A and B are shown apart, each in its own frame.
Chain A
Amino acid sequence: MKKTMIGNHAASWGAQLSRVQVIAAYPITPQTLIVEKLSEIVADGELDAKFIKVESEHSAMSACIGASATGARAYTATSAQGLALMHEMLHWAALARLPIVMTNVNRAMAPGWSIWADQNDSLSQRDTGMMHIFASSSQDILDSTIISYKVSEQVLLPTLISFDAFFLSHTMEVVDMPPITDVDKFLPPYNPEYKLDVNNPRSFGALTSEEHYYEFRYKMQNAMDDAVGLIKKEGREFEKLTGRYYDLVHSYKCEDADLIFVTSGTIAETTNVAVDELRKDGKKVGNLKIRVIRPYPKQDILKAVKNCSKIAVIDRNISCGYHGIFAQELKGALYNESDIPVWGYLAGIGGRDVKVDDIKEIADETFKSKKPVDMIMKGVKI
């Protein structure tokens, strides 16, 4: 059934269709509409779940961890400062191997107070051990929520689904909601082998010496490796139900491109439009959207860019003191494998709009440039 809805509500309905059993959340702009809608959904009896209205985001993730440890399906959502406050418990969820799925509406970190789109909040959680998706449409948000539970519950790692504040969170799009009976066929109830069970008492997360801790990390790394294949496999299963396929990267007209943009989030959608316009002008460009950054789809990226002669990465984030984070990651992937030069661009920081013309300008600049540059801060007023 097709419905018009904002990106935030796509997240709410994604949680409803996934039949989450425990929700714990705290308000923060621009996320709040997700949990407001979920409160209504639960109150109206459209979802049989416990909703714990906690006193902080740190407690939101903690409550989800407790619930997930009993074998319940748990969900939360937040933004920026809230995600930063959760940080400790994101590590906890991942190391405790709990398949919690959460939404983060990408918002710039304060100060100065900003509620606008920026990826620094969720990229600061890169090394927590969570799988991390950047959705680029409302449909992607809803579908990713469902698929992520399926993947998370197999590899026993949590998933963070991020998307841009306002450009997606508050923008109406048409979303196709699959019937819940179809989702039920795809996503069975969560039934973990190990959980808090009074008939089989175990201790979880006890004091761990150097004899064992390293092996926990080894197993997490293996789980991440397995997730690469599982995201594709479950993506294909989901496609059978809905006709929509989600991969770790999505390549748009990259096959014969001289220049490939590497993008994420809503900038990726704008870039697809720019690619079409540039192609009309005879410029052979393509766009590689990175949808999943953890696990990092290195092989998929290498395959997608192998024929091009230049790469331009557009980052809506910055690791101050180095440069854009997607650019860093990409260069790491190419090293030892390829000698394609990489130009790093920053754009859209703090919610500044990135238009089709901006991307066309990046294309021109990169075509003209002889020597790759680590970071070009597009549009910065100095």
Chain B
Amino acid sequence: MKLTIPEREIMQPGHLACQGCGASMAMRYALKIFGRDSVLTIPACCWAVIDGPFPYTAVNVPLFHTAFETAAVMASGIKAGLDVQGEKSTNVIAWAGDGGTFDIGIQAISGAAERNDDITYIVYDNEAYMNTGIQRSSATPHGAWTTTTPIKHYKIGAKKNMVEIMSAHRIPYAATASVAYPEDLCKKLEKAKNIRGFKFIHILAPCPTGWKSDPKYTVKLAKLAVQTNIFPIYEIENGLKYTQNKKVKQRKPITEYFKYQGRFKHLKKEEVEFIQKSIDRENEILLKKF
């Protein structure tokens, strides 16, 4: 039988993720594709803890922990260091959360993307600073509760469109992906692995702890995010060629996605309608690009 996802497991049991952690699923798939000839660098984020405390590690590839805002340039430095020593085949992967990517790390990412450094930058997006206890980031969607956007002052303003920002750098490859669609995710990882230059993959990784959802709904929520068009799955090559990877024939209402999560429970009907309109409008804009 030909498997669509490689059987090999590089990541090992014993990590410290919460139950139902989308980010740990994402790492498992990523390592299956990238394999042992890979080096990871991880800034401050959930994965700085998930991998395990000193002297343990769960990823089974060399891992350099780094400062919050430096994942991209750390990967650039690692790649340059390996290159000058003739280790040109090694995949160098920056693996960061949404805070380290959308907020504090965006300068270094933009720099590495503009230089087209040969690294893969993967953001596992759980839509807030989950490791520090659920504070809003610029990846937090409009309307969401976090500990710094309490229900009386919930998050106002759209989630930053990171994949568009990255593709505006005309990098060879930028994509969104989801832990609910592992075949699609693995294809994208494989593609990134075989392209030289800067690759950016944005993976939506539900977080039961921060989203106030049941751990058993992680995959369901990741799927609903795609089916409601709040997180469309697509790729952009060289900043120009858009491809829709998951076509949504009849989008589900956003309430289907919200109802499994505590972070949207406070939203009034009018606010939900506003969000629905925004999603539909954004989707119209996106569909014209394919």
Residues of A within 8 Å of B79, CB to CB, are 66
A50 close to B84 (CB less than 8 A): yes
Q: Select the residue from B75, B76, B83 with max chain A CB neighbours within 10 A.
A: B76
Complex Cα distance, B71 from A58, in Å, reads: 12
Q: Which one of B51, B81, B85 lies within 8 Å of A66 (CB-CB)? A: B81
A62 close to B67 (CB less than 8 A): yes
A55 close to B107 (CB less than 8 A): yes
Chain-B contact segment, one of A132-140, A197-205, A231-239: A197-205
Q: B62 interface residue, CB < 8 Å from A? A: yes
Complex Cα distance, B90 from A65, in Å, reads: 18
A62-B67, A63-B73, A206-B51 given; A198·B80 CB < 8 A? no
A22-B84, A66-B80, A206-B57 given; A55·B111 CB < 8 A? yes
A66-B64, A88-B67 given; A203·B59 CB < 8 A? yes
Residues of A within 8 Å of B191, CB to CB, are none
Residues of B within 8 Å of A74, CB to CB, are 77, 81
B70 close to A206 (CB less than 8 A): no
B65 close to A54 (CB less than 8 A): no
A65 close to B66 (CB less than 8 A): yes
A22-B84, A66-B74, A205-B65 given; A196·B39 CB < 8 A? yes
A63 close to B76 (CB less than 8 A): yes
Interface size on B, residues (CB 8 A): 47
* Residue in chain B with minimal CB distance to A24: B77
Q: B275 interface residue, CB < 8 Å from A? A: no
Complex Cα distance, B54 from A205, in Å, reads: 8
Chain-B contact segment, one of A145-153, A207-215, A298-306: A207-215
Q: Which one of B38, B69, B75, B80 lies within 8 Å of A58 (CB-CB)? A: B69
CB distance from B43 to the nearest CB of A (A): 10
* Residue in chain A with minimal CB distance to B117: A52
Q: Select the residue from B57, B77, B115 with max chain A CB neighbours within 10 A.
A: B77
Complex Cα distance, B67 from A56, in Å, reads: 15
Q: A71 interface residue, CB < 8 Å from B? A: yes
CB distance from A217 to the nearest CB of B (A): 14
Residues of A within 8 Å of B70, CB to CB, are 58-59, 62, 89
B65 close to A65 (CB less than 8 A): no
Residues of A within 8 Å of B90, CB to CB, are 198
Q: B78 interface residue, CB < 8 Å from A? A: yes
CB distance from B236 to the nearest CB of A (A): 22
Q: B53 interface residue, CB < 8 Å from A? A: yes
Enumerate chain B interface residues (CB-CB to A < 8 A). Answer: 36-39, 41, 48-49, 51-57, 59-67, 69-70, 73-85, 87, 90, 107-108, 110-111, 114-115, 117
Enumerate chain A interface residues (CB-CB to B < 8 A). Answer: 21-22, 24, 48-50, 52-56, 58-59, 62-72, 74, 88-89, 92, 196-198, 200-209, 212
